[in-house]
Amino acid sequence: MTDLKATDPPVTDPPATDPQATVAKATAHASPGRLSTLHRRILDWYALEARDLPWRDPGTSPWGVLVSEVMLQQTPVRRVEPVWRQWMSRWPTPAALASSASGDAVQAWGRLGYPRRALRLHAAATAMVERHNGDVPGTLPELLALPGVGAYTAAAVSAFAFGQRTAVVDTNVRRVFARAVGGSGQAAPSLTRDETNLAVALLPEDHVEARTWGVAVMELGALVCLARSPRCPDCPVRDLCAWQLAGRPAYEGPVRRAQSWHGTDRQCRGVILAALRATTEPVAQCDVDALWPADDPQRDRCLDSLVADGLVEPLPGGRFRLPGRQDLTN
DNA sequence: CAGACGTGGGC
DNA sequence: TGCCCAAGTCT
C-alpha cells in the first residue's frame, strides 16, 4: 500500500463552491495513481460482489434496461424484480406496450409507487414506435426527449444498454463521491453542477472500464456505502476515503425536509388508484366516495387530479376506470 | 427551484 | 411510533 495520507489534501479544506475549483481539487486528490487505484478497487469489488439482477444479464435488450431504470426510480430493487419480469414477459418490446391501453400499464405497475411512471413509460413506448422505428434510441438527446426519462435515466441507458462512456449520477454515486472524494457524510440535498463535473472527471479513460464503472459505484453505494449505516469495514476503498480519513465527521450541510404522508393528496390518490387497479370493472362514484372520509373535499379534488393526470378515465354515468381498460367481467 | 408525486420496510 | 430511506422526473 502506498502512503495515501501524504497525498491527501488537508481534511480541513473548506468546501469549494467554484465548479472549476472543485474539479481541480478532485483531480488533484485523484492523481493518476490514486485514480487508477480507486478504479481498480471498485471494479474488482464489483466483479466479486455484484448482485445477480435480471436486467444485468448481457442478453437484456435496451428496452429491458430502460424499463428497469424507470421502475428503479425511487423504488427498492427487491420490489422491482418480480414486476420487471412480468412486465418484460407481457411487453417484450416498446411496440408491444404501445399496443396496450395505458391503463393496463398502470394496472401492471402494481404497488411500485409513483404510477405516473407507468403512464410515461407507455407514452415513451408510443414515442419510440412513432419516432424510432420501435427501438430505444441510443443518444442522450433522443433519450432525454422521451417522457419520464431525465438526466439520470438517459445516462443509465446510454451506459448500461449501449455501452457508451457516459457518467451516471444517481443518489448512490453522489453519496459515494461525497464521502470518498468530498469527505462529507452525505451529498447535498439536490444535484449540483460540481457533482456532475466530478463524476465526469472520475470516469475511467479506458472504455471497457468505463462501461462497468457507473454500475459498480452505484452497487457500492447500494450495498456498502449506505446512507444510514455505512459498512465501512467492508469497503474496498476505505483507506482512500476522504470521509473515513477525516474521522467520519457528521454532516453539517442543509437538511432535506422529510416528506409528510398522512392525510396528503398522495395518500388519497393512492387509495383511489389501488381500488381501480383491483378490478377491471368500472368503479361507481359511490364506491370511490366510500374510500375516504365523507364530506372531505380532498377526495373529489384527488379524483379530479387523477383524471387530469390521465391516470383515471371518467365514464358516462359517473363511473371510473384505469384509462382504456376493457371490462372483462362479462 | 422547492415541492409534488406512492409505497413499503428498517430501525 | 414515526421518521428516514429507496437506481428521479416534472413543473
- Residue A286 belongs to domain with CATH number: 1.10.10.10
- For residue A251, which nucleotide's C1' is closest to its Cα? C4
Task: State the total domains in chain A.
Answer: 2
Sheet holding A283-284, edge to edge: A283-284, A319-321, A313-315
Cβ atoms A249, A185 nearer than 8 A: yes
Cβ atoms A136, A93 nearer than 8 A: no
Rounded distance between C-alpha atoms, residue A103 and residue A85, angstroms: 19
Range of the domain at A104: 54-161
* Distance from residue A260's CA to nucleotide C2's C1', rounded to whole Å: 11
What is the grid cell recorded at A82? 418480480
What is the grid cell recorded at A258? 422529510
Domain boundary residue among A161, A177, A194?
A161
Render each residue's pLDDT in chain A as its tens digit; 330 residues: 333 332 233 222 334 434 345 445 555 555 678 889 999 999 999 999 999 999 999 999 999 999 999 999 999 999 999 999 999 999 999 999 999 999 999 999 999 999 999 999 999 999 999 999 999 999 999 999 999 999 999 999 999 999 999 999 999 999 999 999 999 999 999 999 999 999 999 999 999 999 999 999 999 999 999 999 999 999 999 999 999 999 999 998 888 888 889 999 999 999 999 999 999 999 999 999 999 998 889 999 999 999 999 999 999 999 999 999 988 765
Rounded distance between C-alpha atoms, residue A34 and residue A4, angstroms: 8
- For residue A255, which nucleotide's C1' is closest to its Cα? C4
pLDDT of residue A3: 31
**Long-range CB pairs of A92-100, under 8 A, 24+ apart, other chains included:** A92/A61, A92/A63, A93/A61, A93/A63, A93/A134, A94/A63, A94/A124, A94/A125, A94/A128, A94/A129, A94/A134, A94/A135, A94/A136, A95/A125, A95/A129, A95/A134, A97/A121, A97/A122, A97/A125, A98/A122, A98/A125, A98/A126, A98/A128, A98/A129
- For residue A114, which nucleotide's C1' is closest to its Cα? B6
A201 within domain boundaries: no
Q: Report the SS3 class of residue A313.
A: strand
Domain boundary residue among A135, A161, A187?
A161
A47 within domain boundaries: no
Residue type for A217, please?
A: V
What is the grid cell recorded at A288? 370511490
pLDDT of residue A330: 59
A169 within domain boundaries: no
A12 within domain boundaries: no
Domain boundary residue among A116, A135, A161?
A161
A116 within domain boundaries: yes
Rounded distance between C-alpha atoms, residue A137 and residue A143, angstroms: 6
A58 within domain boundaries: yes
A278 within domain boundaries: yes
Strands (E), chain A: 283-284, 313-315, 319-321
Q: Please list the active-site residues of A.
A: 69
The answer to whether some atom of strand B lies closer than 7 Å to the beta carbon of A111 is: yes
* Distance from residue A76's CA to nucleotide C1's C1', rounded to whole Å: 23
All protein residues with a CB under 7 A from any atom of strand C: A 53, 55-56, 68-69, 72-77, 113-114, 120, 147-154, 156, 170-172, 175, 186, 215, 218-219, 221-222, 226-228, 256, 258-259
* Distance from residue A12's CA to nucleotide B6's C1', rounded to whole Å: 41
A86 within domain boundaries: yes
Alpha carbon A232 to chain centroid distance?
24
- Taking alpha carbons only, the member of A154, A165, A155, A189 closest to residue A175 is A189
The answer to whether some atom of strand B lies closer than 7 Å to the beta carbon of A188 is: no
